[in-house]
Structure 1
Amino acid sequence: METTLKSLIFAWALFASALSHAAAPYAFGVLNQRSLQATAVYWNPILNYVSARSGVPLELHIGRTANETTDRVVAGRLDFAYTNHLFTPKRAALGWRVLARQDSRGIRGQIVVREDSPARSLKDLTGQSVAFPNPYAFVGYYVPYDALLRAGVRVTPLFSGNQEAAMGQLMSGQVAAAGVNHQVMADFARRNGLKYRVLSESEPYFDLAVMASPRVSEADGEKVRQAFVGMIDDPEGRRVLKAAAQAIGLGKSRGFVFADDADYTNYRAFFRHTRVPVNE
């Protein structure tokens, strides 16, 4: 009898452990473009919706800076990520796969100055301080800094931690210019009444991708993909997207569309030819 009781207790412990493991949410990292608070306010309702619709529990994880969030991805501490930092040669080899992206016409890297700046061309920035979000940022650092190098313009890069922090430095006059994501810049300027001028603009690149780690099963990855993509066709999904956008002052909400690795070919092509040393 005692042996049977011990066996039942052991079996229940194993079962409880399995349930606990199954219920543990996947860590979903979001690349820092805005403040930590704004990122959480925007993404938590979306991840709650996707978790409920997909049956795959997701939990928001954000580092203090975009660098830290990306380092967590590379270190294998996250399961899903919303990012465009994984298309460098070494990071592409980690095996993360693209599931979806925000539905937009693409993002462009810009170098911008305040409207009252005397700078009219990239040459006018020679020797000046230019703010960038972080040394991993694609359209916020690599793309605009590559434009400066190709123009033969040497500047002093200052890294601010995220997109809006770099824009804040520009607005306050701490730097002569900023390298930015054109979409985030337009939203920031509209909310803050900032008038600015664009000195350089890149070709469009698809927006950040929802990506899954190789350890996430194909089945769970597909459930998450379908939940993201289906938001725009579901009244509740549209409500969540609209409320999230309004909560951080975006002009309009943006849904998600199907995407795969082929959509990010021009990212990889950029890294094959860029003059900027690649930080991996």
Structure 2
Amino acid sequence: MTRCKYNLFCLTLAILFLAALPCLARATEKSYTLAIVPNLPAVTLHKNWTPIAEYLSRELGVKVELRLYDKVTTFIEQTQAGDADFMYAAPNMFFLAYQKQKYIPLVRGSNMLRGQVFVRKDSPYTKVKDLEGKTIAIVGPKNVCSVITRHALITGQNIDFNVSFSGSTINVAKSVLLGKADAGATLDSSMMEDAREMQNELRVLMQTPQIPPHPLAAHPRIPKKVRDAVTAALLNLDKSEQGRKMLEAVKLTRPVKADYKRDYSFFANVDFDRLEKQQPKPAK
């Protein structure tokens, strides 16, 4: 090979190598997935969580990619399989993933959750025992309000009852007011947010003990230094007005470090199999 051809060959290799660098960088760039429970429309979750994902990406120096779902069942299946590096889930769904994969809760909000059972203000039912054999409207079978209220009714009150699924807090309230269900069960905070104008027409019969809210958790395969960095980054957001707005949008208001034993071991007492077998009754 002549010197001219050799130099041309070397120049070509150099150009090809430089052109390939961006592709190589993208191929080797570290990334983590953050799975979000589908408790709101996907477009809303994307809007609320994108600033958090971008912030964590900058703080960690790696890409944090949102993973959104159309169905709660898909979210539960994939988190129980350990597909997500990080997850934000309802407490009961986190517990199920913890059982299978030992996800580690990192951060949660400070606003505690409490379920409640209510009837129409003019209902003849004055105590929970009166709901024996009656129909209670709930949002859905896997929502945290459904799990904690049904658990309280079955274990604490020891009554049998039917359920109907209404799909949303406001529909639960409407089902009770229209007489399609004898009672309803929701989170008290959800009633305040979604059905405030109906509360004067309803009467609360029972409230559950408070439980900690949704945690952001990490799969144990994530290095501890990365988990600690995520925890610190989210806690630091609470130090600025803009950061607090970001946290409020994703229900991590006034974040604190989460702890499995303190916050979520309660769910070890819940008979999920029994709740799963409870079949809905058609609305009246």
TM normalised by structure 2 equals 0.74
State the distance in 2 between where 1:40 and 1:169 align. 31
The answer (yes or no) to whether the contact 1:97–1:211 under 8 Å persists in 2 is: yes
Provide, for residues 61-85 of structure 1, a one-character-per-residue CA deviation record: whole Å limited to 9, x for no partner: 3323433322221233322111211
Equivalent residue, structure 2, for 1:86: 94
For the pair shown, the structure with the greater C-alpha radius of gyration is: 2
Equivalent residue, structure 2, for 1:277: 274
Given the alignment, which residue of 71, 90, 104 partners 2:77? 71
Correspondence list, 1:189-200, <5 A: 189-190=195-196, 192-195=197-200, 196-200=202-206
The answer (yes or no) to whether the contact 2:244–2:253 under 8 Å persists in 1 is: no
Q: Counterpart of 1:144 in structure 2: which amino acid?
A: T
Given the alignment, which residue of 13, 19, 22 partners 2:26? 19
User: Is 1:175 matched with 2:177?
Assistant: no
CA distance change for structure 1 residues 227 and 155 in 2, over 3 Å: closer, same or farther? Answer: same
Provide, for residues 196-226 of structure 1, a one-character-per-residue CA deviation record: whole Å limited to 9, x for no partner: 3222212121111111123333232222211
Provide, for residues 231-274 of structure 1, a one-character-per-residue CA deviation record: whole Å limited to 9, x for no partner: 111233024346x38xxxx9xx8231111223235424423xx4
Equivalent residue, structure 1, for 2:3: none
Equivalent residue, structure 2, for 1:213: 219
CA distance change for structure 1 residues 45 and 129 in 2, over 3 Å: closer, same or farther? Answer: farther
Provide, for residues 143-193 of structure 1, a one-character-per-residue CA deviation record: whole Å limited to 9, x for no partner: 211232233432222234565664565566543323222222322233x54
Q: Counterpart of 2:256 in structure 1: which amino acid?
A: V
State the distance in 2 between where 1:161 and 1:77 align. 27
Given the alignment, which residue of 139, 155, 165 partners 1:159? 165
State the distance in 2 between where 1:97 and 1:170 align. 39
User: Is 1:237 matched with 2:234?
Assistant: no
User: Is 1:147 matched with 2:155?
Assistant: no
What is the count of residue pairs matched by the alignment?
266
Equivalent residue, structure 1, for 2:102: 95
Q: Counterpart of 1:125 in structure 2: which amino acid?
A: L
Provide, for residues 57-116 of structure 1, a one-character-per-residue CA deviation record: whole Å limited to 9, x for no partner: 33333323433322221233322111211324x742412111000122x21222223434
Equivalent residue, structure 2, for 1:62: 68
Shift of 1:228: 1.4
For the residue of structure 2 that corresponds to 1:78, the secondary structure is coil
For the residue of structure 1 that corresponds to 2:35, the secondary structure is strand
Runs of 5+ unmatched residues, structure 1: none
The answer (yes or no) to whether the contact 1:80–1:211 under 8 Å persists in 2 is: yes
For the residue of structure 2 that corresponds to 1:112, the secondary structure is strand
Equivalent residue, structure 1, for 2:193: 187
The answer (yes or no) to whether the contact 1:110–1:182 under 8 Å persists in 2 is: yes
Q: Counterpart of 1:95 in structure 2: which amino acid?
A: K
CA distance change for structure 1 residues 201 and 92 in 2, over 3 Å: closer, same or farther? Answer: same
Runs of 5+ unmatched residues, structure 2: 1-5, 278-284
CA distance change for structure 1 residues 167 and 75 in 2, over 3 Å: closer, same or farther? Answer: farther
Correspondence list, 1:21-40, <5 A: 21-22=28-29, 24=31, 26-40=32-46
TM normalised by structure 1 equals 0.75
The answer (yes or no) to whether the contact 1:145–1:276 under 8 Å persists in 2 is: no
CA distance change for structure 1 residues 117 and 55 in 2, over 3 Å: closer, same or farther? Answer: farther
Q: Counterpart of 2:153 in structure 1: which amino acid?
A: L
The answer (yes or no) to whether the contact 1:32–1:162 under 8 Å persists in 2 is: no
Q: Percent identity of the aligned residues?
A: 23
State the distance in 2 between where 1:162 and 1:79 align. 29
For the residue of structure 2 that corresponds to 1:277, the secondary structure is helix
The answer (yes or no) to whether the contact 1:141–1:180 under 8 Å persists in 2 is: yes
The answer (yes or no) to whether the contact 1:112–1:178 under 8 Å persists in 2 is: yes
CA distance change for structure 1 residues 172 and 20 in 2, over 3 Å: closer, same or farther? Answer: farther
